Amino acid sequence: MNVSGNALGSVDKEAIARLNLIVPRVAAKDFTVWGKHSEAQNRINWLDLPISSRNLLPELDALSAWARSLELTQIVLCGMGGSSLASEVIAKANNKSLTIIDSTDPDQIISSIPKDLAKSLIIFSSKSGTTIETLSHFKFFKKLFLDNKLDPLEHMVIITDPRTTLDESARKSRFKVFNADPNVGGRFSALTTFGLLPASIIGVDVSVLLDDADNANQMLAKANSPAVLIAAALFSSSKQVVNFVSDESTLPGLCDWIEQLIAESTGKDAKGRLPVISNKFEKQASSFSIGFSSGDCDLSVDATLGEHFILWQWVTALLCYLLEVDPFNQPNVTESKDRTTKILHQITEGIFESPKPILQTDDLALYSNKNVGNLSEFLNSYYGYLAIMAFLPRTELNNVTQLQSLIFLRTRIPTTFGWGPRFLHSTGQIHKGGQLNGGFIQITRSHETDLEIPGEKFTFGKLISAQALGDAQALVERGLPLIRVHLKNKHFNILKVLD
């Protein structure tokens, strides 16, 4: 592991000294570092994972052998946030095939169904056992297997914490269930069953990840370690935005995992650090940037994937100490879930009152709590940052990802991009719990195709609509500026909204 860059020469020495004092306490799992009432008391075991997760290896080897014996070669992982992001990074880093379903969009689910169900294995990951997206995926695929005269017990595996509702019901139904350490938070779970089981199934030697993480963990527990230097730099060199420069040639997807870890952990009590992910050619934030290969970033971090996993967990925990926030809770994630449930009930009962659009054409409708006539007018105000939240299928890009760079180039305001509902388990926390200075661009669409969720009154289309509307409601009630672009024509070029 190597950390370099010009920023190292200007890091606040007082911040470094403060962190050096608490590093031994963190290594000793002293949860009071973050306050007597911190959730760290029940979330601190991530420090043990490089060693404790070795106990999983025989179990993972046996599961992989079982999957091979049944010729289950098409692997799908259904999970949100920390239940899938690490596995996605591991798969990409090792050039392995793993389909991720972290959406409730009907078209994305349809496109993710394995071509040969008889050779498929679907992994369902939910720490709480109550994640509405993952439970809906579970019901859908269980019926799909039955309809195709396949035994779900031979094609479905569950990962959850011990004694959750999902754990108990799945075991009762004789599904293969694997538990993770309940004393590790979801976004710190890369080296638990959540990250390692899917990786092992697709043929990754996860012992290498653990070896690298263990070696790094011993170094990070010392004064002036890379974690101390990076955390101090994140604290002192930026008040909010941190630009992460994504280089697809080195560990693709790593930035998305770091984004959730930092944003969801730090973004509360009107504080936080907001990762803005851009590529090396369009570096956005001028104040502070981090990269993973040689270049002109303020900091460059060169490490293996296992080292990165444990490094950024240390960095986040130390940064939260300096910010004086609890790194292990996520109060506003629950809020969005509650709003979704309420709106979903209203939609299914036919009593939901849709807001009036500020503009409507054959192709789209615009909604906003600001007195604007179009997106360009919305962008003319000053914001600390802009967030694009696209409740669209990731399989149909429709140019939507280009909006991030185009809007930044037009406004010179740091601009993030998130897929909905995936970002609700990531940056959704900092949007509502961090510094309340963002401007929010939500993109939704009409669903020509929909999917039933067995046993529920609502469909996947209604679910994703409720998730978008619930999040919009949470932002608007905070007085935050929001504009929603609702696409009525799937062939409409989204970039035209900037005209």
Q: H-helix or E-strand containing 276?
A: strand 274-279
Question: Which of 280, 308, 263, 313 lies closest to 431, judged by CA?
Answer: 263
Q: H-helix or E-strand containing 214?
A: helix 206-220
Kindly state the average pLDDT of the residues 6-33.
Answer: 96
CA distance 479 to 449: 34
Question: Which of 89, 306, 303, 301 lies closest to 208, judged by CA?
Answer: 306
Give percent of the chain with pLDDT exceeding 90: 87
Residue 284 has pLDDT above 60, yes or no: no
- Listed in sequence order, the residues at least 6 apart from 436 whose beta carbon sits closer than 8 Å to its beta carbon are 270, 478, 479, 480
Tell me yes or no: is domain 49-208 CATH 3.40.50.10490. Answer: yes
Residue 470's alpha-carbon distances to 168, 344, 428, 482, in angstroms, are 30, 9, 12, 13
Around Cβ 176, how many Cβ atoms within 10 Å?
16
What CATH number does the domain located at 331-498 have?
Answer: 3.40.50.10490
CA distance 428 to 403: 19
Torsion angles phi and psi, residue 127, rounded to 5: -60, -50
Convert the pLDDT of each residue in 53-91 to its tens digit: 999 999 999 999 999 999 999 999 999 999 999 999 999
Q: Radius of gyration (Cα) for the chain, nearest Å?
A: 22
Over the chain, what is the mean pLDDT? Answer: 94
| Three-class SS state of 275 | strand
Residue 116 has pLDDT above 90, yes or no: yes
341-349: Cβ within 8 A, 24+ apart? 341/132, 341/466, 342/470, 343/466, 343/469, 343/470, 343/473, 344/458, 344/462, 344/463, 344/466, 347/458, 347/462, 347/465, 347/466, 348/457, 348/458, 348/462
Alpha helices in 123-205 (DSSP H): 132-147, 165-172, 193-201
The pLDDT confidence band at residue 136, using thresholds 50, 70 and 90, is very high
Residue 285 has pLDDT above 60, yes or no: no
CA distance 445 to 470: 15
CA distance 463 to 340: 8
How are beta strands 385-390 and 415-419 bridged, if at all?
parallel
Convert the pLDDT of each residue in 219-250 to its tens digit: 999 999 999 999 999 999 999 999 998 876 67
Q: H-helix or E-strand containing 461?
A: helix 460-476
Around Cβ 452, how many Cβ atoms within 10 Å?
14
Where are the domain boundaries for CATH 3.40.50.10490 in the chain? 49-208, 331-498
Convert the pLDDT of each residue in 402-435 to its tens digit: 999 999 999 999 999 999 999 999 999 999 999 9
Classify burial at 207, counting beta carbons within 10 Å of its beta carbon; exposed 0-12, middle 13-18, buried 19 or more: middle
Residue 252 has pLDDT above 80, yes or no: yes
